[in-house]
Amino acid sequence: MTSRFPVSARLFDSTAKRVPAGVSSNTRARAPHPIYFERADGAHVTDADGNRWIDILMGNGAILLGHNRPEVQDAVRAAAAAGLTTGIETAAACALAEKFLSIVTTMDMVRFTNTGTEAVLHALRLARFATGRKRIAKAEGSYHGWSDEAFISVWADLSRAGAVEAIQPLAGTPGQRGELVSETVVLPFNDIANSVAAIERHASDLAAVILEPILIDIGYIPATRAYLQALRAACDKLGIVLIFDELLTGFNVAPGGAQEIYGVIPDLATYGKALGNGYPIAALAGRKGLMEMLAPGKGPVFVGTFNGHAMSVAAAQASLAVLADGSVAAAIDRRLKGLKEAFHADAAELGFSAVMHGQGSHFQWYFTAEKVVGYRSAATSNASAYRAFVQSLFDQGLLVLTNPLSHHALSAAHGDDVIDRLKEAFRVALKAAEEALR
């Protein structure tokens, strides 16, 4: 790797003395060193050595419109020229709230913050206040940020996780507060009977049930409508707040998110990623009766110096103007369907057990004969085949993640020419994966 990236290697040698592993997020670490980038445009990024890559990470799915989208960049430049930054309310943020709620019509009110982790923390605190209860239930494999309260049973060690009838909550990282982990109720995704039974068993202590309606941080695993309906009914019956984490599905699988597709409406929902097309902004939205509790003196504190930052608000206004009618997401989804069809045809020709899941811009590959319906079936994906597959893609100039339970993404900038290039790259990589298992 070093011979292809001498500048990145030098940057790492100096930066690692000051920055742990040379990166600001552990997911960007790579052996023997990270790759450092200098420019991005459309579907491509250019590294410090001048290598041009096809980006199928797209900011973990955040950059739905593509890098350097003119409307977004122009809006951010105009906001910068106005001199406003942060710490005060702006007319632009008022307009953004109105635009947001005109698209996400299932929600009554909204507040803006900076990251998905923050939005989730606000949602959980609000649920605890509204119910007077303290415990949280969450789906196994569902990622809601890195906080002590939510980073639980995501990429869990199944040898320690217990049976689906009584899943053992597991910390996502060393240093996590054990009492928060142990009091969390973990639900088997798409398993109605065991999930409802767990909720009913702990109902008197449960403030909220939170989940991604489509598990995306471990690939792409949609809930069944019946599963979400069962959770909605259980929460209604038992007075529990239902929270959908729509950070990755909002404005992507449909303008109003997964709840628009499923017709199941949560009490609270979190949004982000595509909302700002790569600029840091997130949102908590929900029913009026709950959201009004966030006003000063009525309930939980909701503060943040950078909430409603002028540059991020401008980026979100411009992004939503493009995404509002759903045509952009639909066009990306059509290209993704073609990519999936080509992948499955090539896998069938090789007689190879591989499937590509995805919708909207999000997708992931699983190398297993088992039907992938939750974390435990996703974990049967053959790690050796996956690593051979993504190594081949990397060698062909595609940005990829090495964790078999991760996700990739397209954007509006991935035109037909790029899709054709991806089809060929996937074909070559499938052969590499098949050979790795011989």
Q: pLDDT digit of tens for each residue in the chain (438 aa)?
A: 456 899 999 999 999 999 999 999 999 999 999 999 999 999 999 999 999 999 999 999 999 999 999 999 999 999 999 999 999 999 999 999 999 999 999 999 999 999 999 999 999 999 999 999 999 999 999 999 999 999 999 999 999 999 999 999 999 999 999 999 999 999 999 999 999 999 999 999 999 999 999 999 999 999 999 999 999 999 999 999 999 999 999 999 999 999 999 999 999 999 999 999 999 999 999 999 999 999 999 999 999 999 999 999 999 999 999 999 999 999 999 999 999 999 999 999 999 999 999 999 999 999 999 999 999 999 999 999 999 999 999 999 999 999 999 999 999 999 999 999 999 999 999 999 999 887
pTM: 0.97
Q: Are 47 and 281 in contact (CB under 8 A)?
A: no
Query: Which domains, ranges and CATH numbers included, belong to the chain?
Result: 36-68+326-436 (3.90.1150.10), 70-323 (3.40.640.10)
How far are the Cα atoms of 45, 57, 390, 421, 431 from residue 397, in angstroms, in the given order?
10, 13, 11, 10, 17
Q: Is 244 exposed, middle or buried (0-12, 13-18, 19+ CB in 10 A)?
A: buried
How far apart CA 341 and CA 418 sit, in angstroms, is 16
Residues 248, 251, 255, 257, Cα dihedral to 10°:
20
Q: Tell me whether strands 44-47 and 52-55 are parallel, antiparallel or unpaired.
A: antiparallel
Amino acid at residue number 201: R
Q: Are 336 and 361 in contact (CB under 8 A)?
A: yes
How far apart CA 259 and CA 404 sit, in angstroms, is 27
- Single out the residue of 411, 420, 320, 406 nearest to residue 96, CA to CA: 320
Q: Is 145 exposed, middle or buried (0-12, 13-18, 19+ CB in 10 A)?
A: buried
Is the bond preceding residue 6 a cis peptide, omega within 30 degrees? no
How far apart CA 392 and CA 429 sit, in angstroms, is 5
**Gap between the terminal Cα atoms of the chain:** 25
